[in-house]
Amino acid sequence: MAIQSPDPGAFLRDMLGQWESMANQVGGQMMKSGEFARAIQGANAATMNAQTATHQLMDRALAAANMPSRSEIEDLSARLKGIEESVARIEAMLMAQAGIAPPARPKPSRNRKPPVKA
């Protein structure tokens, strides 16, 4: 006759389930309170104020070092992209007027080998 030993996993699963239900109950009650909502709102406001202060500090530090800020780099990038598009249009019109076919762009190879540098 074999003796059956209790399943230790079942005990742990039961304990975890009870702990989870108690945590859900306490958490649900806490989230319903106005104090919790005010605390979360205060934490969010503090985080936003800290981010704003950090951005202002970085902008001042970059200006003191005579370096562009991120927004200035993004503006320059957008302006450069517009200039490149304009030059490409002008080049295409000049080539069309001269009767020159645009150069064929090489298509990427469909293999797993890296491209060979010439």
Q: At 4, is the pLDDT very low, low, confident or very high (cuts 50, 70, 90)?
A: low
The residue whose two tokens read 């202002």 is: 56
What's residue 3's pLDDT?
A: 59
What's residue 101's pLDDT?
A: 82
CA–CA separation, 63 vs 57, rounded Å?
Answer: 10
What's residue 118's pLDDT?
A: 62
What's the DSSP call for residue 100?
Answer: P
SS3 115: coil
Q: At 94, is the pLDDT very low, low, confident or very high (cuts 50, 70, 90)?
A: very high
- Average pLDDT score over residue span 55-79: 92
Q: Which of 23-27, 80-84, 91-95 has the highest mean pLDDT?
A: 80-84
The residue type at 57: L
What is the tens place of the pLDDT at every residue in 53-65?
A: 999 999 899 999 9
| Strand ranges in the chain using DSSP code E only, listed in sequence order | none
What's residue 17's pLDDT?
A: 93
Of 29, 5, 25, the residue nearest 17 (C-alpha): 25
Using a cut of 0.85, tell me whether the model's pTM lies above it: no
Token pair recorded at residue 112: 């797993």
- Average pLDDT score over residue span 89-94: 92
